[in-house]
Structure 1
């Protein structure tokens, strides 16, 4: 009597405890929703997009990151337009029509305009007090080699209007009698083909005159709402220009054009691939359960998994990288198996068994599935890469939250009569008994030998590609416009440049000058057109004082050119002295900070980093790089000068992808080994049957890539990790003890595999190379895992209780 009372009390206590845990989990989920709302709506957090942040902290270089940010920011909010025609007046007419349309939306785009004479005056005033400190290399050579009489004749020719001083006349003759400043200004102008004309900037090429329009983008280039307004505005402006002048050519370049193209592509694919995937999964669940409740529950568990992973990961790391969110959410997709496993088991279990009793039967398998996935992902957490650690923690947390949702809520939400089996589901689940079983007999060994030959042959031909350029797909017309515009304007590439560092601004400028001397041979060979550097405009103090002394010694000394001029025009010694003092008043050293803050320095501010930490840094940009195969020649120059580093952003990002691919490959191998050991503790000698499907499918997929010439990338390896997680679940499902349980497990495998094919495999249709690579791997791999899993189902009855 007492024993029965204790039993009744225990049986009534268990549901109460489950209800208490379910309510507690509801409170946790509410907190997760609140925290996510606070992050996204109040704090308005945004994921990190700097791919170099994925590198180990020991490899971080703050100055390099700042340098690249300067180069990118200088271009990110700008739109550059060239309006060209063979007739200059028509080019101006078309440009005016273009500007008229842009001017109607100043909140989106603003043209950089101003009075040309006023701008030139403000620009020249920057150097007024420093004219005697500035020389070109050609002028230095002439000063050293030519006699004072030659210089006096040059100055007299300029005085009498026979312009022979080597540069434009800027101000009164007395301010620049030898034309040194005019020549220096002319040399600076050679750094760009852009010239002023009729109050506008223009460039000529191929018989056409192009009016240059510089537009400042007001909203962010990556704002989708801004893209939806700016792109049509630019199209309208182009149409207006071509309607005004039918033969006008309009070239446009800007980050927002590429961002908008990517957004349009992603939106189109989401509307097609995403909709197709969703419709397919809904139809699948309806045909299986004749109810939409299962898909709602599956989505609920995955959503809670993602919310929990995001909240806790953000608390742990302070911020998350965009790749963590994208691929972490994909890896959390494995959590669908927990929900599908419970639903199919409920469908195939006697209705007299309570859902809580069913959970107790399924709990060992569910726990093993979670543990196997956690072990697999924790291998990434042991790597030195912050991004992989974030992905690992995010994925593990997501799986844990989804798993707890299934354990704590599903028994209460799914009752014995909640689901009805359909004829289609019954026919499919019974089909497992007709599936061939792999055995170590003659046929088995032949199949294994053929498979081994195929895999070895394929893997031997498999190539690797980590080049970031292979992962980009920009519309050809945008690339054509950008390339042509870049050649016309001779703009430097923001992806490759020199980073110059030193203990002071003066040392940085001196090292820039050394670098330019080393690069002169490269320029002479026409490998590059030239360089952009702050030292072009602000020489080092050492160079400025040397130039000053050279001018004074050769031109202003008692026996110099100035004295020869006074003698030639019969002027007094006082006149000579007054003019000498007037010129010496232009001897104030020019400093980089003052130049950068001036109107003349505005176009070059992105080149001067100033003080970064305890050192100073600057950028030397390369112009006219036509053949990217010559990048190594430029890289070889940097080690010759202390404090100079060659930066190739494309190569840096590619190296990050390479490191991640290598570490992910090792993490994948370690995950297979660790999970096999774990499965051996439960399934003993049959453990290999649980892990064989994903392993064989992964090897076959990679071999197929090798045979077809598809290079291996990081995104293929990430997909292989997802294949492992899903495939091991299928192997565990099918090691069930009885045929009835195995039928429901086979239904679980089918639903999960088809859902994964619809969710991930359809990404193979994407035109985005990373998504295509990920989706293609999942499409082939998941199909093979699905087909191979029943071939390795458990052959001998296995007791969960005994284990």
Structure 2
């Protein structure tokens, strides 16, 4: 590029071409972008057995997939009718593995598996299909056929006179079911009809959970019709959808206010309507380049990468602002940007070095974030350096001619630069941050949830009513293979039955409940009577009943004979059935081993249950403790990365400025501001999270940018005025964005917004006090 300015028509053509390239790039990236919602991408590789189990359980376990629904706002009969209609609408929906409301449950038992019912059921563990047992069962069926349940039972009797199918369906029902009203589940007060719904989508799939919640809402709207009533849902999936919706709504209004505010700010700062449009081009280029790089280098892009990435590259808006503020009449735009380039390039290189350390974190999500940010920063800087000057009118108004800016500069010039006092401030801030009462770090992820307390209370109440699995505790049994794991879960189940009898827990669910071990199936198979013996016992049992002729039970005899010679069931035999997903959620198969999970309901005595688990070769895992240890490990790796970044940053600035005093003036404001931010947060009782660390990195990048340009201005009065103008505009824009984030109801957004807001103020003030040079009057 030459320094000769382009004609207006050429500038318009170049701007149009730039916009066209951005539009084409945006369309192309959108076609090839694969978004991911798996939050495990932002977690470090688990190292302990408990952490590994946490990652699997949170994503795939029954607790993460379970939605609890409550219908209210109408009389019991209406609610029961709505419950039945909702269950019927969802029963065949492939997005759900089971929908339970106290009715039926036979859909979990496919026809091809029904001959296996005596191998799956526990009946033969305590009973035999002899004359006495069959006679008792036949008499019970006679009574059933005269009851209101006759319509449901009559089709089953010829093939299943012992109702083993219903017994299995009952054992597969979730937890300890509540009482029934009009044939469906209700809470104890009778004001809510209850349903337990398990999604096929894992807990770490926000899009899948949102789709499931939407399907339930749509089905309920149709089931309710014009009748009164309302639906409420709780559970991890429902909460994630609520959080996503609230985040989207807040982001929308924050983005709207930010956009209007930034446009007005740029217009007021430069009195030129073109500036807001031109300033957006490097920012748009940065975002698309970063997004394209991540899409190219990674199989899919996490939504958090995009959200955080656009926030973190917000610093690139400073690059064109510095250029606009230093452009003046009589100086060609390329000459202006060349003069700024050393400071600008130093800031970009230093910030990129800081984010490059994320590559050693071992966390896929942070590596994506690093690629997004580094490519975005580099693109914005290069486009500001080589493309933007060609679009700028060489006759921009010089901020150095502003009287109010000159008065402000003169006032700033009179400010003392008490560097010893700043050192004292750093020591005091460090002392406050270290000695403030209360925990320094927040490891409990649940404390970060924006879910209202009343919603959490409702979730706890519904879980108690429905006997849903505990989301904190799970027992893990690791075996050599699937068979070993299933046998271990069977042995443990016997001990847990005793614990349930003692009131130590209300219930439990284990994989052998859905697929007994092959050993147990063979033992039950061996107890099935020979055909002739079974026929004789059935004849005797039927003669004393109204059935009279045992021929009606021919399907039953055929099923028992098929079960006697059947190959025992294995996990692959359940593929394509609802039982497969139930089993997969509780049986984790890995290379070289398998882990059986036992979910617990109403755990009241963790220590006693833990002892039972240990005797069976298992372990009671506290997923809350495992999550806290994982967060601590994550934070430690990020802190090591930041420590490395700090060393590289010092080296980069020292090489660029070639002087230790100049390096100190640039880095000191950023370092002291970081300590001040930590002191303020700790003094306010804030426990720091990983999101505060991310925000501190962003604030440090802003501080480095401010200090570099204050130092770059030197002692030239006019350059100091232009730099003051640029940094004021940059600070005001950043302050507007992050102050609004600080008002968010979302804890993560609030943490980032408050931290960066403190950082903007601290870096601006300390940059003036430390990094600026005393001005030298010139003629």
TM-score (norm: length of structure 2): 0.78
Equivalents in 2 of 1:477, 1:415: separation in Å? 58
Write the mapping of 1:596-675 to structure 2, written as runs, cut at 5 A: 596=574, 601=579, 604=582, 606-607=584-585, 614=591, 617=594, 620-625=597-602, 654-675=628-649
Match of 2:360 among 369, 382, 386: 382
Equivalents in 1 of 2:590, 2:464: separation in Å? 36
Match of 1:720 among 696, 720, 730: 696
* Other-structure match for 2:547: none
Q: Is the 8 A contact 1:298 1:340 kept in 2?
A: yes
Indicate how the Cα distance of structure 1 residues 202 and 51 shifts in structure 2: closer, same or farther if over 3 A, else same.
Answer: same
Match of 1:544 among 505, 521, 527: 521
- Alpha-carbon displacement from aligned partner over 1:721-756 (angstroms, at most 9, x marks no partner): 111111011111111222321222222222111111
Q: Is the 8 A contact 1:128 1:586 kept in 2?
A: no
Q: Is the 8 A contact 2:69 2:194 kept in 1?
A: no
Match of 2:28 among 25, 38, 45: 38
Equivalents in 2 of 1:273, 1:668: separation in Å? 30
Q: Which moved more, 1:601-610 or 1:680-689?
A: 601-610
- Alpha-carbon displacement from aligned partner over 1:123-148 (angstroms, at most 9, x marks no partner): 496665345545639x74688xxxx9
* Other-structure match for 2:443: 466
- Alpha-carbon displacement from aligned partner over 1:210-258 (angstroms, at most 9, x marks no partner): 3759699999966989988975885797695437xxxxx8654477753
Indicate how the Cα distance of structure 1 residues 439 and 258 shifts in structure 2: closer, same or farther if over 3 A, else same.
Answer: closer
Q: Is the 8 A contact 2:96 2:198 kept in 1?
A: yes
- Alpha-carbon displacement from aligned partner over 1:292-345 (angstroms, at most 9, x marks no partner): 333323322111111111112321223323332222222212222222221111
Indicate how the Cα distance of structure 1 residues 59 and 193 shifts in structure 2: closer, same or farther if over 3 A, else same.
Answer: closer
Q: Is the 8 A contact 1:499 1:619 kept in 2?
A: yes
Aligned to 1:760, the other structure's residue is in SS state helix
Write the mapping of 1:51-200 to structure 2, written as runs, cut at 5 A: 51-52=40-41, 54-56=43-45, 69-71=59-61, 75=65, 80-82=69-71, 89=77, 91-92=79-80, 95=83, 120=106, 123=109, 129-130=115-116, 132-133=118-119, 136=122, 140=125, 191-193=175-177
* Other-structure match for 1:792: 770
The Cα of 1:633 is off from its aligned counterpart by: 7.2
- Alpha-carbon displacement from aligned partner over 1:180-202 (angstroms, at most 9, x marks no partner): 8987776666954268887x543
Aligned to 2:650, the other structure's residue is in SS state helix
Indicate how the Cα distance of structure 1 residues 220 and 184 shifts in structure 2: closer, same or farther if over 3 A, else same.
Answer: closer
Equivalents in 1 of 2:661, 2:740: separation in Å? 37
Equivalents in 2 of 1:787, 1:91: separation in Å? 62
The Cα of 1:391 is off from its aligned counterpart by: 1.9
Q: Is the 8 A contact 1:763 1:774 kept in 2?
A: yes
Aligned to 1:531, the other structure's residue is in SS state strand
* Other-structure match for 1:357: 335
Indicate how the Cα distance of structure 1 residues 607 and 315 shifts in structure 2: closer, same or farther if over 3 A, else same.
Answer: closer
Match of 1:484 among 441, 454, 461: 461
The Cα of 1:481 is off from its aligned counterpart by: 4.0
Aligned to 2:327, the other structure's residue is in SS state helix
* Other-structure match for 1:418: 396
* Other-structure match for 1:49: 38
- Alpha-carbon displacement from aligned partner over 1:470-512 (angstroms, at most 9, x marks no partner): 2211244543443333322222256764566656543342232
Indicate how the Cα distance of structure 1 residues 450 and 600 shifts in structure 2: closer, same or farther if over 3 A, else same.
Answer: closer
The Cα of 1:287 is off from its aligned counterpart by: 2.5
Q: Is the 8 A contact 2:409 2:724 kept in 1?
A: yes
* Other-structure match for 2:278: 297
Match of 1:438 among 403, 413, 418: 418
- Alpha-carbon displacement from aligned partner over 1:54-108 (angstroms, at most 9, x marks no partner): 42498999998676554479947x77444597x86454456579899x89xx999
> Aligned residue pairs: how many?
742
- Asked which structure has the greater CA Rg, the reply is 1
Aligned to 1:242, the other structure's residue is in SS state coil
Match of 2:508 among 521, 531, 540: 531
Match of 1:287 among 268, 272, 275: 268
Matched, 1:686 2:675: no
- Alpha-carbon displacement from aligned partner over 1:697-739 (angstroms, at most 9, x marks no partner): 1101111121121000011111111111110111111112223
Indicate how the Cα distance of structure 1 residues 515 and 339 shifts in structure 2: closer, same or farther if over 3 A, else same.
Answer: farther
Indicate how the Cα distance of structure 1 residues 233 and 557 shifts in structure 2: closer, same or farther if over 3 A, else same.
Answer: closer
* Other-structure match for 2:483: 506
Q: Is the 8 A contact 2:511 2:598 kept in 1?
A: no
Indicate how the Cα distance of structure 1 residues 283 and 660 shifts in structure 2: closer, same or farther if over 3 A, else same.
Answer: farther
Aligned to 2:330, the other structure's residue is in SS state coil
The Cα of 1:376 is off from its aligned counterpart by: 1.9
TM-score (norm: length of structure 1): 0.76
- Alpha-carbon displacement from aligned partner over 1:637-687 (angstroms, at most 9, x marks no partner): 777667x67776666655554334333333333333332233334133232
Aligned to 2:228, the other structure's residue is in SS state helix
The Cα of 1:690 is off from its aligned counterpart by: 0.9
Indicate how the Cα distance of structure 1 residues 47 and 589 shifts in structure 2: closer, same or farther if over 3 A, else same.
Answer: closer
Q: Is the 8 A contact 1:429 1:747 kept in 2?
A: no
The Cα of 1:536 is off from its aligned counterpart by: 1.6
CA RMSD between the two structures: 5.3
Q: Which 5+ residue runs of structure 2 have no aligned equivalent? A: 545-549
Matched, 1:326 2:307: yes
Q: Is the 8 A contact 2:73 2:228 kept in 1?
A: no
Indicate how the Cα distance of structure 1 residues 385 and 287 shifts in structure 2: closer, same or farther if over 3 A, else same.
Answer: same
Q: Which moved more, 1:511-520 or 1:26-35?
A: 26-35
Match of 2:288 among 304, 307, 313: 307
The Cα of 1:793 is off from its aligned counterpart by: 2.8
Equivalents in 2 of 1:109, 1:493: separation in Å? 20
Matched, 1:748 2:738: no
Q: Which moved more, 1:127-136 or 1:58-67?
A: 58-67
Aligned to 1:55, the other structure's residue is in SS state coil
* Other-structure match for 1:202: 185
Equivalents in 2 of 1:294, 1:477: separation in Å? 48
* Other-structure match for 2:684: 708
Equivalents in 2 of 1:99, 1:545: separation in Å? 36
Indicate how the Cα distance of structure 1 residues 639 and 25 shifts in structure 2: closer, same or farther if over 3 A, else same.
Answer: farther
Aligned to 1:473, the other structure's residue is in SS state coil
Q: Is the 8 A contact 1:428 1:747 kept in 2?
A: no
Equivalents in 2 of 1:486, 1:56: separation in Å? 31
Q: Is the 8 A contact 2:587 2:595 kept in 1?
A: yes
Indicate how the Cα distance of structure 1 residues 112 and 686 shifts in structure 2: closer, same or farther if over 3 A, else same.
Answer: closer
Q: Is the 8 A contact 2:71 2:79 kept in 1?
A: no
* Other-structure match for 1:3: none
* Other-structure match for 2:320: 339
Q: Is the 8 A contact 2:279 2:317 kept in 1?
A: yes
Q: Which moved more, 1:219-228 or 1:596-605?
A: 219-228
Q: Is the 8 A contact 2:293 2:371 kept in 1?
A: no
* Other-structure match for 1:773: 751
Equivalents in 2 of 1:73, 1:774: separation in Å? 30
Write the mapping of 1:533-612 to structure 2, written as runs, cut at 5 A: 533-549=510-526, 586-587=563-564, 588=566, 590-593=568-571, 596=574, 601=579, 604=582, 606-607=584-585
The Cα of 1:26 is off from its aligned counterpart by: 9.6
Indicate how the Cα distance of structure 1 residues 31 and 361 shifts in structure 2: closer, same or farther if over 3 A, else same.
Answer: same
Q: Is the 8 A contact 1:32 1:311 kept in 2?
A: no
Equivalents in 1 of 2:576, 2:377: separation in Å? 56
